[in-house]
Structure 1
Amino acid sequence: MDYDKFIFCLEAVNDVEKESATDVLEHLEQLAFQQHIDSIYKTCDTIEGLEESLNALLYDDHNFKNYEIIYLIMQGEENNICLNGYYYSLEEIAELFDGKMRGKVIHFANAKILDLTEDEAQYFLDITGARAISGYGEAAYHKVTSTALDKLFFSLCQDEDDVIEIVEELHQKQYALCKLLDFRLYY
């Protein structure tokens, strides 16, 4: 089945000049071959690089409306991300993309714990226009990354628009992993 919803993946790296195939890129390629879910993969090492990559997607890609998921693989804690040793709050990130993520699901891999208060989550959603923000309450647990759960989540997002239904089905299919990594969705 061909889908018209895509994933935009942005991974934080130490140096964008050094090219290397990461596990994330390999898993996105598997998604494309096995489930026909297309994606764009980019790396960034600064806040300017993050902004530039998302602006290029917003303004230069004519299929932007088809990118349902913005997949972020970045270090950080609670309500911040870390790029090259500098911390940025999700409030700062929200303000960078004021109104530009309308209808998107912003999903964080478990490289970063996502622990937002109700007010922080609502602020992010209101400012960006995103439909939901999701991630995990546990970082890589004994080297268990969220990749398998991320792939299932992305697949479910292809077939279902209701985020509550998606989360319920995710828990039905992978309850133990959802609990182990503490999957979270704010909408």
Structure 2
Amino acid sequence: MDSDTFIFCLEAVADVETHTTTEVVKNLEQLAFEQGITSIYKTCDTIEGLEESLNTLLYEDHNFTDYEIIYLVMPGEGNNICLNDYYYSLEEIAELFEGKMTGKILHFANAKVLDLDEEEAQYFLDITGARAVSGYGMGFNKLTSSSLDKVFFSLFEEQDNIVEIVEELYEKHYALCKLLDFRLYY
């Protein structure tokens, strides 16, 4: 791969005014320190905050094309996310970012179970232009996906083919991939 991997992380929090260092921040710092993977970390507590953060990245960050991975750490189930006790379907999210995620990989941490049928996944990819959506079928149950997320992200430093990256992830960490039920829609 010609360029470095860049990650834009958006984590759902109860209140954006309360500043705490989460496990996600620590893991992103570790990725930067150990592997040189650059990231931007933001929090949101509403759908408007999510939209504003991604729009700021899209329209004001001149390095947006460098960000391959949009890392979403937010609760939810199946085909929705939950922000401030309100549920939003991935179809609604897709419509907010219609055509704006071209070539990006949206990766959900296991704070949210990702369970899409073929039609839902294809709709999301077609509307947003995203290259792939990935996440886990097993939700947070005292085991976060953070260690597997870090490995997944680091594999982008070595190659660019998403299918080969996932195959390598399964080869290296089969038990954890199966336990968390890693999923890829592309």
TM-score (norm 1): 0.97
SS at match of 1:150: helix
For 2:116 and 2:155, locate their aligned partners in 1 and report how far apart those are by CA, in whole Å: 24
| 1:3–1:36 CA contact under 8 A, matched in 2 | no
2:153 aligned residue: 154
| CA deviation map 1:44-97 (0-9, x unaligned) | 000000000000000010100000000000000000000000000000000000
What letter corresponds to residue 182 of structure 2 in structure 1?
A: F
- Runs (5+) with no aligned partner, structure 1: none
8 Å Cα contact 1:8-1:69 kept in structure 2:
yes
Deviation for aligned residue 1:159 = 1.9
Percent of aligned positions with the same letter in both sequences?
Answer: 74
Q: Which residue matches 1:80? A: 80
Separation in 1 of the partners of 2:69 and 2:169?
16
Aligned length, in residue pairs: 185
Aligned AA (2:148): L
1:1-187 equivalences in 2 (<5 Å): 3-141=3-141, 143-187=142-186
Separation (CA, whole Å) in 1 of partners of 2:39 and 2:144: 20
Q: 1:12-55: per-residue Cα shift (whole Å, max 9, x none)?
A: 00000001100000000000000000000000000000000000
Residue identity matched to 1:155 = S
Residue 99 of structure 1 aligns to a residue in which SS? coil
Q: What's the secondary structure of 1:72's corresponding residue? A: strand
Which whole-Å CA distance do the structure 2 matches of 1:39 and 1:127 have between them?
25
Shifted more, 151-160 versus 85-94: the winner is 151-160
Cα pair 1:146 1:181 within 8 Å, conserved: yes
Q: Measure, in 2, the Cα distance between the counterparts of 1:101 and 1:5.
A: 16
Amino acid at match of 1:150: D
Q: How many angstroms does 1:138 deviate by?
A: 0.1
| Partner AA of 2:82 in structure 1 | C
State the shift of 1:3 in Å.
Answer: 4.8
Q: For the residues of structure 1 that align with 2:85 and 2:157, how far apart are their CA atoms?
A: 35
**Which blocks of at least 5 consecutive residues in structure 2 are unaligned?**
none
Q: Give how far 1:144 is off.
A: 1.1
Q: Supply the distance in 2 between the matched residues of 1:112 and 1:29 (Cα, whole angstroms).
A: 22
Counterpart CA distance in 2 for 1:164 and 1:55 is 28
Structure 1 residue 162: deviation in Å?
1.0
Code of the residue aligned with 2:64 in structure 1: it is F
Provide the rounded CA distance (Å) in 1 between the counterparts of 2:110 and 2:156.
18
- 8 Å contact kept, 1:3–1:37: no
Q: Secondary structure at the match of 1:158?
A: coil
Inter-partner Cα distance in structure 2 for 1:163 and 1:4? 15
